[in-house]
Amino acid sequence: MLIAVMKAIQIHSTGGPEVLEVVDLPIPEPGAGQVLIRIEATGVNFIEVYFRKGVYKAALPITLGSEAAGTVEELGPGVNGFAAGDAVVSTAVIGSYAEYALVPTAQLVKVPKGVSLEQAAAVILQGMTAHYLALSTFPLKAGDVALVHAGAGGVGLLLTQIAKRIGARVITTVSTKAKAELSREAGASDVILYTEQDFEAEVKRLTSGKGVDVVYDSVGKTTFDQSLNCLHPRGMMVLFGASSGPVPPFDPILLNSKGSLFLTRPTLWHYIATRAELEWRAGDVLGWVAKGELKLRTEHTYPLANAAQAQIDLEERKTTGKILLVP
Ligand code: NDP
């Protein structure tokens, strides 16, 4: 029997971008509760860099990637509610840096009319992340003031737009003037060039010394300490990433001395753990894209074989908005 093969990007050891290899693999067979999808676009996210470097552990070899949109090719046993040819998207794809991949249907949603597969792949992970941060972790209200680091990044641009539609005031940080322009377009009222300015002093100036209600910090190591100083008493520090490196251990008494602050370190999986939450968040973000209410930037799109370059550009802060790989 002839076994159908596909191209995929795997790592056999952890390290720099050079450990990403283009390999031929058999197209996998869907098991119970799974479907096989043909991938049209796959999202590149920082988490794959953490796996590649070995910061997050995985059994090797592994095909990287978890976010993709495509069409259902084959159903596994016991699958209901999906049919061959359906346009679908998920953040739980088992190895999305590939031409085909398996997805558990518990984490699969249909792409509504008016949203392309490329848009779906571009928005699902970062959009649902921005959604839970703004609506659940620290539910923003009109008039709240939020500080969003890396405001021109994938999550940053979406979080700014969602916070703005709620009526919050959004202050962002970015590294360049070009990124500042994009962040303003997304709705930031004030943009701080944290590579040139002291962002803590700027936030205090912009809030007349009061501080902000919430900091959404995905940068981590280089911003964490000063971010705590930007909060008013009983404000919330939402540390949701480590783009500059992990935050070193710290003494919780600091939360007391800096104003009885709250600290959380959330992850998307705990906010889409039930089908109801997944459908709520996916439905909102895909619906907003369909209506043109959530704008996406997808100018960083690479062929699948160039996955290493995509990760280099992400790590070197060269990208804005979403990075996609197209098989
Ligand atoms: P971004 O597009 O935001 O890219 C990262 C950005 O971080 C860069 O563009 C850069 O913006 C900024 N940055 C600051 N310092 C550094 C540095 N030393 N090295 C690299 N980048 C730096 O990425 P994503 O939108 O994909 O993800 C943002 C963060 O959110 C990541 O840390 C990711 O792990 C996290 N995340 C967390 C989730 C969760 O549920 N907890 C889910 C999804 C993402 P600038 O040039 O303006 O400084």
The reply to whether 289 falls in a domain is yes
Asked whether residue 238 falls in the same domain as residue 172, the answer is yes
The reply to whether 310 falls in a domain is yes
Asked whether residue 14 falls in the same domain as residue 98, the answer is yes
Q: For atom 32 of ligand 1, which residue has the closest CA?
A: 241
Q: 106 alpha carbon to ligand 1 midpoint, in Å? A: 27
177-189 residues labelled b (16+ CB within 10 A) or e (exposed): eebbebbbebbbe
How many angstroms separate the CA atoms of 138 and 291, rounded? 25
Q: What does the pLDDT read at residue 2?
A: 61
Q: Which amino acid is at 252?
A: P
Q: 319 alpha carbon to ligand 1 midpoint, in Å? A: 10
Q: 64 alpha carbon to ligand 1 midpoint, in Å? A: 18
Asked whether residue 115 falls in the same domain as residue 168, the answer is no
- The closest-lying atom of ligand 1 relative to the alpha carbon of residue 222 is 15
Q: What does the pLDDT read at residue 93?
A: 98
CA neighbor of 100 nearest in space, from 1, 2, 3, 5? 5
How many angstroms separate the CA atoms of 120 and 126, rounded? 11
Q: What does the pLDDT read at residue 1?
A: 55
The reply to whether 298 falls in a domain is yes
Q: Which amino acid is at 307?
A: A
Asked whether residue 182 falls in the same domain as residue 246, the answer is yes
Pocket residue to mutate for ligand 1, from 218, 221, 239, most atoms within 8 A of Cβ: 218
Q: What does the pLDDT read at residue 210?
A: 98
Q: 223 alpha carbon to ligand 1 midpoint, in Å? A: 12
Q: Is the distance from CB of 125 to CB of 91 less than 8 angstroms?
A: yes
Q: Which residues have C-beta atoms less than 6 Å from ligand 1?
A: 45-47, 125-126, 129, 150, 152-156, 174-175, 179, 218-219, 222, 240-244, 266-268, 314-315, 317, 319
Asked whether residue 87 falls in the same domain as residue 147, the answer is no
- The closest-lying atom of ligand 1 relative to the alpha carbon of residue 46 is 34
The reply to whether 135 falls in a domain is no
Dig out the tokens for 70 from the structure: 């495509």
Q: Which amino acid is at 35?
A: V
Residuewise pLDDT in 10s, the chain (327 residues): 567 999 999 999 999 999 999 999 999 999 999 999 999 999 999 999 999 999 899 999 999 999 999 999 999 999 999 999 999 999 999 999 999 999 999 999 999 999 999 999 999 999 999 999 999 999 999 999 999 999 999 999 999 999 999 999 999 999 999 999 999 999 999 999 999 999 999 999 999 999 999 999 999 999 999 999 999 999 999 999 999 999 999 999 999 999 999 999 999 999 999 999 999 999 999 999 999 999 999 989 999 999 999 999 999 989 888 999 999
Asked whether residue 296 falls in the same domain as residue 236, the answer is no
Domain that holds residue 116: 5-123+283-326
How many angstroms separate the CA atoms of 46 and 130, rounded? 15
Q: What does the pLDDT read at residue 262?
A: 98
Q: State the distance between the two ends of the chain, measured CA to CA, in whole angstroms.
A: 25
Q: Which amino acid is at 110?
A: K
Pocket residue to mutate for ligand 1, from 149, 155, 263, most atoms within 8 A of Cβ: 155
Q: 316 alpha carbon to ligand 1 midpoint, in Å? A: 11
Number of structural domains the chain divides into: 2
Bridge pairing between strands 62-63 and 212-217? unpaired
Q: Where are the beta strands (DSSP E) in the chain?
A: 5-11, 20-26, 34-44, 62-63, 68-75, 87-90, 100-104, 108-110, 145-148, 169-174, 190-193, 212-217, 231-239, 262-264, 300-303, 323-326
Pocket residue to mutate for ligand 1, from 46, 265, 322, most atoms within 8 A of Cβ: 46
Q: Is the distance from CB of 46 to CB of 36 less than 8 angstroms?
A: no
How many angstroms separate the CA atoms of 35 and 109, rounded? 12
Bridge pairing between strands 300-303 and 323-326? parallel
CATH number (domain holding residue 297): 3.90.180.10
CATH number (domain holding residue 177): 3.40.50.720
The reply to whether 131 falls in a domain is no
The reply to whether 82 falls in a domain is yes
Asked whether residue 156 falls in the same domain as residue 258, the answer is yes
Q: At which of 265, 296, 315 does a domain end?
A: 265
Dig out the tokens for 292 from the structure: 């043109």
Q: 189 alpha carbon to ligand 1 midpoint, in Å? A: 20
Asked whether residue 191 falls in the same domain as residue 222, the answer is yes
How many angstroms separate the CA atoms of 17 and 46, rounded? 13
Asked whether residue 9 falls in the same domain as residue 100, the answer is yes
Asked whether residue 67 falls in the same domain as residue 119, the answer is yes
The reply to whether 159 falls in a domain is yes
Q: What does the pLDDT read at residue 321?
A: 86
The reply to whether 177 falls in a domain is yes
Asked whether residue 117 falls in the same domain as residue 161, the answer is no
Asked whether residue 87 falls in the same domain as residue 43, the answer is yes
Q: 318 alpha carbon to ligand 1 midpoint, in Å? A: 11
> Is 0.85 surpassed by the pTM of this model?
yes
Residue 73 Ramachandran class (φ > 0 left, ψ -120 to 50 alpha, else beta): alpha
